[in-house]
Amino acid sequence: MNDLHIALWQTPHPASTAEALQRLDAVCEKARAQGAELLITPEMYLTGYAIGAKRVAELAESADGPLTLAVTAIAQRHGIAIVYGYPEQNPHGQPFNAAQAIGADGTRLMNYRKAHLFGDLDRAQFSPGDAASQVFEWRGWRLGLLICYDVEFPETVRLLALQGVDAVLVPTANMVGYNEVQQLLVPARACENRVFVAYANACDSEGPVHYGGASTVASAHGLPMATAGRQETLLLAALAPGELAAARRHSQRPDRRPGLYQALAVRE
């Protein structure tokens, strides 16, 4: 593997999908010019997050719908992979809160549905995803997707780590008042699994909802590699295979005793 150069776009949610695509096109050009190979947007970036159940349902599309085609064209035009958030249609209920990875050549790499819904806002708008995240390969890297609240559960990252993931990419819309996620939980998930974790948050406000920014990339040792403030920014980081190898020499995972942990799979 070569170093993987990523960009986390900490940005407000746009007022419309047209604006979202226009701004995404511009930031992809900027990120690629700065050497980024992959860009991560916030949770539900293409449509907005706190927009109400009716509007979410109106804007929801299939994983290969018009919004995906537009993002694919942007990825191909600038030669950069994109991880973006959007509402995915669900024929059996409310839409899914989804994130999709598109390769620099336009290939659809992975689609993931948020499994853990946070609070009344999430539950009013979405159905929970029905499957754990799976690892996908891109340019020699084994990558995984989670969305916002998912990363706060240690089991989610551990499941990806057991599949051999190298980096977990997390579009998020974490709100003001929950800074412990960026400051404590994201580094902990990285350290305890010896993987990179990239957490791309929204900023500014959307109606009554205030987002906390502070996007971060944690190393496989659980140390901050790059951290944003509260305002819009393009956060760059280079993920190095050597860092993974060094961290994994001190991994606790070989000493796990899964037979003792069966109670973890029992609902409280």
Q: Domains (ranges, CATH) in the chain?
A: 4-265 (3.60.110.10)
Identify the pLDDT of residue 267: 80
State yes or no: is 54 an active-site residue: no
159 near 132, Cβ under 8 Å?
Answer: yes
State yes or no: is 30 an active-site residue: no
State the catalytic residue, choosing from 37, 61, 88, 148. 148
State yes or no: is 148 an active-site residue: yes
State the catalytic residue, choosing from 28, 37, 61, 114. 114
State the catalytic residue, choosing from 43, 88, 206, 243. 43
Rounded mean pLDDT, 223-237: 97
The band of 264, judged by pLDDT with boundaries at 50, 70 and 90, is confident
Distance between CA 39 and CA 32 in Å, rounded?
A: 9
182 near 174, Cβ under 8 Å?
Answer: yes
Identify the pLDDT of residue 239: 98
| 265's tokens | 């799979």
Alpha helix segments (H runs only) across the chain: 17-33, 53-59, 66-78, 119-125, 154-162, 180, 186-193, 241-248
Rounded mean pLDDT, 207-221: 97
Rounded mean pLDDT, 22-34: 98
Identify the pLDDT of residue 95: 98
Identify the pLDDT of residue 150: 98
Identify the pLDDT of residue 268: 76
Identify the pLDDT of residue 214: 98
Rounded mean pLDDT, 30-36: 98
Rounded mean pLDDT, 142-155: 98
Which residues lie closer than 8 Å to 195 by C-beta, 6 or more apart?
157, 160, 161, 165, 166, 167, 168, 189, 220, 244
Residue 69 in this model has a pLDDT that exceeds 90: yes
Residue 99 in this model has a pLDDT that exceeds 90: yes
Mean pLDDT over each residue of the chain, to the nearest integer: 97
Identify the pLDDT of residue 201: 98
Q: What is the pLDDT of residues 117-144, one digit of tens each?
A: 999 999 999 999 999 999 999 999 999 9
Name which of 220, 203, 225 is nearest 212 in CA terms: 203
What are phi and psi for residue 123, nearest 5 degrees? Answer: -70, -25
Residue 1 in this model has a pLDDT that exceeds 90: no
Identify the pLDDT of residue 265: 84
